[in-house]
Structure 1
């Protein structure tokens, strides 16, 4: 049984993924998020414990950079634990 600290909210939002130390950010899609992190669909090969930045352009607020670490790698995408908790509260996902 999977247990989570925070409720996940399903979305489909385009974003940009940058791997720390690499110069070419690439496109990704945020498929769900919680106060603790997000799940991304991406073609970029990632590994657990890799540090990344996710750039999002939410409606109504300035672009945000979410720093995080890859904590889950699966066939459908990667789970990112956000460096800052409750990062999503100030965003309008509409």
Structure 2
């Protein structure tokens, strides 16, 4: 039987994935759509950064609750996700600078 806290984490991650696949990806893949305006590009970069940050925070938060055989994988995932979130935040700042 799965712990209710673990089930809640899995459900939340699954729901986020489902929402992205069903709502965001079809819009992104629609070749007939116009270019994303600069202001919206900044918002999208920020939203992606926040999503990646949240995934990293989850990995880090559970790392000490995972078996020693796997805990390092969670810590490494956190570090990589944190680095990518910072990259997205940097690009968001650059886009804001260009828009001024």
**Richer in strand (by share):** 1
**Higher RCO (Cα < 8 Å, 6 or more apart):** 2
**Richer in helix (by share):** 2
TM-score by length of 2: 0.21
TM-score by length of 1: 0.21
- Which of 1 and 2 has greater Rg? 2
